[in-house]
Structure 1
Amino acid sequence: TLVMRESDHQLSAQHGYMINCLCKLSSFLAQRRIVETEQGSKVMSDFEDHLTLTFPSKIPKNLIAFRMSQLGTLPFNIYNQLPSQNWPSLVSPDWWTNQIYLLILKKPKSEWRWVPGETPLSTGMEVLYGILFYLGGILLGKAILKNARTIELKFWVSAHNIGISLLSLFILLGFLEQIIPKLREHGFFWTICNYYSYTQPLELYYYLNYLCKWLEFGDTFFLVLKKKKLQTLHVYHHALTMYLCYIQINGKTSISWFVCSVNLFVHVIMYYYYFLASRGIRVSWKKYLTSLQITQFIIDLNLVYFCLYTHMAVHHFPNLPNVGDCRGTRQSAYFGCFLLSTYLFLFVQFFIKVYAESNKIAMNKRKEEKAKEKKST
């Protein structure tokens, strides 16, 4: 509870009341916003904690016990922000993104906006059509190529895989450039839950990551053209990951940067492995890729369930211990938790089926060979 000085409340009713915090004053004042609502003027701060403000008796009652759980419902323009470049130009993804944006669209990337219906591929129907096209393309491709010869696509497969690996690395570095300064200044919880942690530069990288999922449909189409067997896990993962990225950016989920960053890190390694495999280069660490993916989902699930818990506690179960609200919609939170849980289950199942069973087969062969050696001796 923060006690406010009575002398600090001399502003007119027209402009609201400016509250001078006795705690963390310097950092608080830099982030303060006064928002006009139907009930009166309320102060919005960047405190991560769940705060209750206590005011002198002269302050109107509608300002008493303003809790920071209301923060997620208050308007805030993420596009009115200072330039975000944090690294030297030549190694800054933000700088390069801006140069590409200027080259293609003749305007700075700071003017980019996620506007459903205006931004390309920003509506639910477009995503639905994309998924249907993906699934239909698989069925149609298999039917057409059933009796056809296998198509040689070595160059295109290699180019696709190394391209996705490098693009994933670029987007990952873009996330890190934006997040690392915020981690240093505000801490981890602020970056995954605070209302202000969701920024325009980050949203642009969310969008690039979302577009990357469309490009990853190429993985499946190359397998179809090469007449390879498709795993159910592969199709399920590719189809729904794109929708997950769409629903998270549409819901402005602040924790998305962490999930995206871990996924991009995995994809940098995974698609590099695919590139090597397409060139006929064998590596000894293939089996660790699935373990890495499983680890990714375990880490993600721990974090997203934590954020969902503290969000639900703030809004529905205030007596439960919590650390404050987290930004995002319930729809995106529920779907994200559900989908990541199914991914974990399916990848563990795949790991057991492929690697555990193959190990058993290898062990049985060794036993048979040893038994034959004993008989021969």
Structure 2
Amino acid sequence: MQGEYELKGYVYPYFAKVLELVTGKDPATFKFVVGKTPLSTFKEVAILFCLYYIVIYLIHGFMKNRKPFQLKWIAFVHNCFLCIISLVLCVSMFEFVLQIIFKHGLLNAVCAPQAYTQRLEVLYYCNYLVKYYEFIDTVFLALKKKKLDFLHLYHHGMTMFICWCQLYGHATITWGPVAINLFVHVIMYYYYARTTVIKKRVWWKKYLTTLQIVQFVIDIFFIYGATYTYFAFNYFPSLPNFGNCNGDPVMAVIGCAVITSYLFLFIDFFKKTYKGKKSSPKAAKDIKKALSTGKSTAVNAKNNLKKRAKSEKFN
């Protein structure tokens, strides 16, 4: 891309070679063009978005009177692949972004058009394609007859959509939510891979959900800040701002709305999953009574033992 920052790649060149072997095309020539790049139009996104939910509904109906599939090792390989590809994309992305921050400052890394580089766009597009592959998560859950809650279904569908919005809008801040999400996914898919083969409770599951919530808080800080300074600079110059910020404002607003909804949904999930329900007054009274009874029984038993020992001594 013309005028972009010049950055050195350390991990990315190896990833680019693998991409070239798989696709037969040099990633250096890639450019996301709506209507030319596969899965680049809103029509394609909308069709696959709806198809995802239709397929899951059909699988759910198909499995209604059937025994659940185990899919243990298939799911394990699936989760390992997502863990590895998330790690590669995350490290490749951060190696470019950190160079921009150190050389040009955080504000440029968030808003400057030169910071939206061709190689970063390759990584954004790969991440976008991975979101379609992640639909298999839900397919496995449906085949195993696991509970499909609203959060899971909404999150998978909308994440694919906002990844397309980021590519469509060419927003410089795209690296923020994408790179952080990839970091979380490295840990998350490691957790899924581990629990697929080892049926043992992982003590840090609660902290994984906490990390997801922190992720959305950081995302909101970045995207709200970038969106605010864009609108303030272009439409309300009397307001304090950091200047213009590169990206499509409509896509930025959609991103703000979706990420905010994620934050509230994950907080609600955290409360329901880890906080538990408080005991009713009657239940608390019954527990207190049981404890009191148990204590009295223990004391009586102890006294009886003493009396018996004393009696035996004199006898």
Q: Same fold by TM-score, threshold 0.5 exceeded?
A: yes
Q: Identify the residue that residue 176 of structure 2 maps to in structure 1.
A: 258
User: What is the aligned counterpart of 1:374 among 295, 300, 304?
Assistant: 295
1:80–1:351 distance in 2 versus 1, CA, 3 Å: same
Counterpart CA distance in 2 for 1:373 and 1:286 is 35
User: What is the aligned counterpart of 1:282 among 195, 201, 204?
Assistant: 201
CA contact (8 A) 1:253 1:327 kept: yes
Q: Identify the residue that residue 137 of structure 2 maps to in structure 1.
A: 219
User: Which letter does structure 2 place at the counterpart of 1:277?
Assistant: T
Q: Identify the residue that residue 103 of structure 2 maps to in structure 1.
A: 185
TM superposition shift of 1:306: 1.1
Q: Deviations over 1:295-340 (max 9, x none)?
A: 1111111121111111111011111111111111111111001001
User: Which letter does structure 1 place at the counterpart of 2:77?
Assistant: A
The answer to whether the aligner puts 1:173 opposite 2:98 as a matched pair is no
TM superposition shift of 1:108: 2.4
TM superposition shift of 1:216: 0.9
1:182–1:283 distance in 2 versus 1, CA, 3 Å: same
CA contact (8 A) 2:224 2:256 kept: yes
1:107–1:217 distance in 2 versus 1, CA, 3 Å: closer
Q: Identify the residue that residue 230 of structure 2 maps to in structure 1.
A: 311
Counterpart CA distance in 2 for 1:368 and 1:168 is 53
The answer to whether the aligner puts 1:233 opposite 2:146 as a matched pair is no
Higher relative contact order (CA 8 A, sep 6+): 2
1:86–1:155 distance in 2 versus 1, CA, 3 Å: same
Counterpart CA distance in 2 for 1:82 and 1:195 is 9
The answer to whether the aligner puts 1:153 opposite 2:71 as a matched pair is yes
Counterpart CA distance in 2 for 1:342 and 1:225 is 28
Counterpart CA distance in 2 for 1:146 and 1:253 is 44
Secondary structure at 2:172's aligned position in 1?
coil
Q: Which runs of 5+ in 2 are unaligned?
A: 299-315
TM superposition shift of 1:282: 2.8
Q: Identify the residue that residue 335 of structure 1 maps to in structure 2.
A: 254
Q: How big is the alpha-carbon RMSD for the aligned residues of Structure 1 and Structure 2?
A: 2.2
CA contact (8 A) 1:276 1:282 kept: no
User: Which letter does structure 1 place at the counterpart of 2:157?
Assistant: A
Q: Identify the residue that residue 263 of structure 2 maps to in structure 1.
A: 344
Structure ranking higher in helix proportion: 2
Secondary structure at 1:118's aligned position in 2?
coil
User: Which letter does structure 2 place at the counterpart of 1:86?
Assistant: G
Secondary structure at 1:255's aligned position in 2?
helix
Q: Deviations over 1:164-204 (max 9, x none)?
A: 11111010011012112111110111001011110100000
Counterpart CA distance in 2 for 1:346 and 1:242 is 17
CA contact (8 A) 2:4 2:116 kept: no
Structure 1, 349-358 or 198-207: larger mean CA deviation:
349-358
TM-score under structure 2 length normalisation: 0.87
TM superposition shift of 1:287: 1.0
Counterpart CA distance in 1 for 2:4 and 2:224 is 30
TM superposition shift of 1:83: 7.3
Counterpart CA distance in 2 for 1:104 and 1:290 is 34
Q: Identify the residue that residue 140 of structure 1 maps to in structure 2.
A: 58
User: What is the aligned counterpart of 1:297 among 213, 216, 224?
Assistant: 216
CA contact (8 A) 2:3 2:114 kept: no
TM superposition shift of 1:211: 0.8
Counterpart CA distance in 1 for 2:57 and 2:174 is 32
User: Which letter does structure 2 place at the counterpart of 1:273?
Assistant: Y
Counterpart CA distance in 1 for 2:234 and 2:5 is 32
TM-score under structure 1 length normalisation: 0.74
Counterpart CA distance in 2 for 1:359 and 1:337 is 34
Counterpart CA distance in 2 for 1:184 and 1:249 is 25
Q: Which runs of 5+ in 1 are unaligned?
A: 1-77
CA contact (8 A) 1:191 1:255 kept: yes
Count of paired positions? 294
Q: Identify the residue that residue 357 of structure 1 maps to in structure 2.
A: 276
Counterpart CA distance in 1 for 2:288 and 2:180 is 41
Counterpart CA distance in 2 for 1:229 and 1:264 is 25
Q: Identify the residue that residue 86 of structure 1 maps to in structure 2.
A: 9
User: What is the aligned counterpart of 2:40 among 110, 122, 128?
Assistant: 122
